[in-house]
Amino acid sequence: MVDPQFDPPRSLPTYAVRKPLFGFLREQAADAHATFGRYRVLDVGCGRKQYEPLFAAYATSYVGVDHVDNPMADLKGAIEDLPVEDGSFEVVLCSQVLEHCDDPVTAVSELHRVTAPGGRVLVTTHGVMPYHPSPTDYWRWTHAGLEKLFVGTATWESVRVTPSSGTTACLGMLISIYLDLGFRRIGLGFAARPIIAAINTLAMGVDERSKSLREPGPSGLYANFHVVAEAPR
């Protein structure tokens, strides 16, 4: 049974990001257990550690690090200078952080450094999204850009980059975000929910019927990307 907190409603404007993201992390958490047995997790940019329940059944430890004072974090440090030893974690998670960091090359190098031999880095980051400084917002990515960043920065056994959802879902997300914003400004946020749910349902359905809309290619538009980078043994 899916935990309700990891099953976002279709009325959520960013459904095209959140629904696939939770599915990706749930799948990766279980797959890592099949590969490593019980394992250690480092959550980089952990925020409120919202993903910890997805890994709890498999992890011997779940360590959160954040660059700001955060009572939920176990450690304080920037992604470009992680305060942990080399090769300390079989799974290193970095979700929706890369677009905010000062130096993506150094960030990926650090993610590689702290990953145990044969371990894996799980990264999710935006392809398309409105500007959202928290406190900074620097980067948007293509699948080719993420592949180049990872492959060019460190030595990996493999790097896999996949869109979270397709082009129609991304367009639906953008329409939904601004529709939600407009309705909220006139005090009718609730009225947008069924419209947004319909948009998300239709958009995801269209993408499911078209491989060319789901997979990276010319003219594609993707809300989010999922990266799995495996360290050499």
Q: Kindly report the CA angle at 131 between 126 and 135, in degrees rounded to 5? A: 95
29 shares its domain with 137: yes
What does each C-alpha distance from 106 to 19, 64, 101, 122, 230 come to in angstroms?
A: 29, 19, 10, 16, 17
186 shares its domain with 90: no
Is 22 contained in some domain? Answer: yes
pLDDT for residue 134: 84
Q: In what order do the strands lie in the sheet with 59-66?
A: 75-76, 59-66, 39-44, 89-95, 115-126, 224-230, 158-163
Average pLDDT estimate for 1-21: 89
103 shares its domain with 192: no
What does each C-alpha distance from 61 to 140, 142, 154, 202 come to in angstroms?
A: 31, 33, 25, 40
* Tens digit of each residue's pLDDT (9 = 90 or more) over 76-95: 999 999 999 999 999 999 99
Would you say residue 162 has pLDDT above 80? yes
pLDDT for residue 2: 54
57 shares its domain with 146: yes
In the chain, how many domains are there? 2
pLDDT for residue 1: 46
Would you say residue 60 has pLDDT above 60? yes
pLDDT for residue 49: 97
Average pLDDT estimate for 178-185: 97
Q: Give the pLDDT band (50/70/90) at residue 4.
A: low
Is 213 contained in some domain? Answer: no
The enclosing domain of 134 has a CATH number of 3.40.50.150
132 shares its domain with 56: yes
Is 143 contained in some domain? Answer: yes
70 shares its domain with 49: yes
Is 42 contained in some domain? Answer: yes
Would you say residue 75 has pLDDT above 50? yes
Is 214 contained in some domain? Answer: no
Secondary structure tally for the chain: helices H, strands E? 7, 7
**DSSP strand pairing (59-66 vs 39-44):** parallel
The whole domain housing 186 covers 168-208
Would you say residue 29 has pLDDT above 60? yes
Share of the chain above pLDDT 90, in %: 97
For all residues of the chain together, what is the average pLDDT?
A: 96
**Burial class of residue 17, CB neighbours in 10 A (0-12, 13-18, 19+):** buried
162 shares its domain with 172: no
Q: Is the peptide bond before 53 cis (omega within 30 degrees of 0)?
A: no
pTM, full prediction = 0.95
* Tens digit of each residue's pLDDT (9 = 90 or more) over 95-105: 999 999 999 99
> DSSP state, 231?
P
